[in-house]
Structure 1
């Protein structure tokens, strides 16, 4: 769907993204794809995404044009298998990365004709392209940062050159959007200065809009869902399993569905077996997408997050859109969205606190207005509303430096 006022100039926006759904994995940057779709309702968006491939059989550069939910997308797969002297190989890889981007941009110009603004998602390397268009083509760029590397808990924003270059890129951007004020604050703490930091929510998938929650009223068992990328260091899935084991030893009136996939998926399944958690209490569903995910979530009475660190997981938006309350650790930007009206907060790593609060939830000690949660989420996170906010940003900065 496209919405455009005929009296308003149509703005053309080039999206460059470090993460994006691709032929090898449909999940990375899915929230960026939704931002592109939301913006495309009000302006003309085209996406360029490049993906390094180590397979020797991969062509040096392979351009794959697609139309994804109305958004023109050029995915460039390039051969990153470089043998020989490591320093030379590093230079060649970097050259191929930028060459792949420029090939994609050249191809996308056939659709856009020209672009009024560049929207960069995820720093730092893509920032060089933004600087080029600002300094040599008089075209502004805005940045959307989603990465948790700036958070103190991760300690992963390191390197003198990386810090210097990122500061240069951020300082020259027309604006920087983050999904939470917490992430913006973390970036500022690294002296990433910009006069226009803007908090911009992630977009709900249309699959989650106007869906009836399927959880049966007065059911004997309460269903709880945990959805993540199954990386235990950040998501603390092992902590969840230990708490579930304690609960299972004293009651059986609940079921927890573990949804997702990732590097620690099998390890967590094996850990659950070693804890001897009954199968009627815990199940591993694997990766679910689209309507299959919505159906599974729709059976839930509570969504569970126990992360050690986070920015703002999109599963919170999705849970709220179904009227499902969230129990989560008080990390990253989560407290900006989760409060007493829609969820329960506790400290990271507090297994005793999680055990107590889940017991209280199962004993009906908490009460939430499901319809109120749902309506607020649709208002805050719908594609139309986030698209309007993006369009407002583009109108402010599309006229060049």
Structure 2
């Protein structure tokens, strides 16, 4: 299908973005940029501090055209200056110097942007102010970080808060992945600007999953997909609940997909709980078609987080017609309802065991085809891309009025 170009030129500054060291980092931002590229001209600047000895003292600027997106990644060495305060200042200077190199490289490809789009505050805020005050170019913000939520307690520091309020006040719009995150930001005084909820995009490969004929009769599969950071994802609590349920019945298995800082720790914890490989399988990181194939074989997704915004894996599950058993945290309740899943209190392992047991016993039932049909129109690149183009158009109209 040929999509009409709107000829809006948008420059994204992304605090998180897939890179040579982590292909999953900020993947949802990349998908947003690629969705906009269906309709307009798009550039992305991402900078990355690294201890890689192969990175020279001078910065490495890498340009690629990726799925229609002009993409510049700038790699620079981490500051090793002492004392700590000098190192932090040096690191900040290098960060902004790298961003400046990136935006100049993008300008050679697409000229001056019509709109600037910032992803993740606070550091990137300076570029929104720069383009607005120096070039009269309006900017919008997309915030994805859960630090504004009370449970994390990580939005601190008077200087950070002051500068964040200044940036938000000067933005044309702020988008968040959930209403819950928007309200949390407003609670911190980040007001005076319209907010809009903008969902994440589901990878198109999920819309055409393979036909699965390998399911074992009378054996249901629960799946968990995460970055294996136990403090937030509570994988240890999930494993304890699984252990309790296996003491009662054995007509199920659990597949844990992903990699991260606590991957080995969780594998060892499963061994400590005497959970064998037939009961609990750790696949490691899966992407694209491999992930779709693995998830397509599941009967229910488990999300046991202590805090979240809205995990894209829930949207991916819905597109595949898979119901979700999730903790009632963040914005999850905004999309999980009795037709597509069930919510439980965070940290309540007994409740998790009971609801998994209900699902296995047939007490909890869901219509897979209905789940699939109700979600497939909402999370495509075309749908979200058009929403962003509409947002940019409104931004330009507001800027003309101002």
TM-score (norm 2): 0.96
Per-residue CA deviations over 1:23-79 (Å, capped at 9, x if unaligned) read 001111000000001111111111110001123542221111112222110001012
Equivalent residues of 1:124, 1:165 under 8 A apart: yes
Correspondence for 2:282 among 272, 281, 284: 284
Equivalent residues of 2:168, 2:193 under 8 A apart: no
- Deviation of residue 213 (structure 1)? 5.9
Aligned residues: CA RMSD: 1.5
Question: For residues 94 and 64 of structure 2, what CA distance do their matches in structure 1 show?
Answer: 22
Partner of residue 104, structure 1: 102
Equivalent residues of 2:300, 2:322 under 8 A apart: yes
Q: Does 1:376 align with 2:374?
A: yes
Equivalent residues of 1:223, 1:302 under 8 A apart: yes
Question: For residues 48 and 180 of structure 1, what CA distance do their matches in structure 2 show?
Answer: 25
Per-residue CA deviations over 1:91-145 (Å, capped at 9, x if unaligned) read 2211111111111111111111221000000000000111111111100010000
Question: For residues 26 and 46 of structure 2, what CA distance do their matches in structure 1 show?
Answer: 10
- Deviation of residue 84 (structure 1)? 3.6
- Deviation of residue 2 (structure 1)? 6.3
Question: For residues 2 and 27 of structure 1, what CA distance do their matches in structure 2 show?
Answer: 29
- Deviation of residue 85 (structure 1)? 3.9
Question: For residues 215 and 279 of structure 1, what CA distance do their matches in structure 2 show?
Answer: 22
Partner of residue 134, structure 1: 132
Structure 2 unmatched ranges of 5 or more: none
Correspondence for 2:27 among 30, 33, 55: 30
Correspondence for 1:259 among 252, 257, 260: 257
Partner of residue 4, structure 1: 4
Q: SS state of the match for residue 318, structure 1?
A: helix
Partner of residue 12, structure 2: 15
- Deviation of residue 310 (structure 1)? 0.5
- Deviation of residue 217 (structure 1)? 7.2
Question: For residues 211 and 188 of structure 2, what CA distance do their matches in structure 1 show?
Answer: 42
- Deviation of residue 279 (structure 1)? 2.1
Question: For residues 349 and 58 of structure 1, what CA distance do their matches in structure 2 show?
Answer: 43
Evaluate the alpha carbon distance shift between residue 215 and residue 226 of structure 1 in structure 2; reply closer, same or farther with a 3 A threshold.
farther
- Deviation of residue 266 (structure 1)? 0.7
Question: For residues 161 and 141 of structure 2, what CA distance do their matches in structure 1 show?
Answer: 16
- Deviation of residue 187 (structure 1)? 0.3
- 1:72-221 to 2 correspondence within 5 Å? 72-212=70-210, 214=212, 219-221=217-219
Q: SS state of the match for residue 260, structure 2?
A: coil
Question: For residues 141 and 74 of structure 2, what CA distance do their matches in structure 1 show?
Answer: 21
- Deviation of residue 81 (structure 1)? 3.0
Aligned residue-pair number:
398
Question: For residues 49 and 213 of structure 2, what CA distance do their matches in structure 1 show?
Answer: 43
Larger CA deviation: 19-28 vs 246-255: 246-255
Q: SS state of the match for residue 349, structure 1?
A: coil
Partner of residue 48, structure 2: 51
Q: SS state of the match for residue 343, structure 2?
A: strand
Question: For residues 166 and 175 of structure 1, what CA distance do their matches in structure 2 show?
Answer: 14
Question: For residues 211 and 372 of structure 1, what CA distance do their matches in structure 2 show?
Answer: 16
TM-score (norm 1): 0.96
Equivalent residues of 1:53, 1:81 under 8 A apart: no
Structure 1 unmatched ranges of 5 or more: none
Equivalent residues of 1:15, 1:119 under 8 A apart: yes
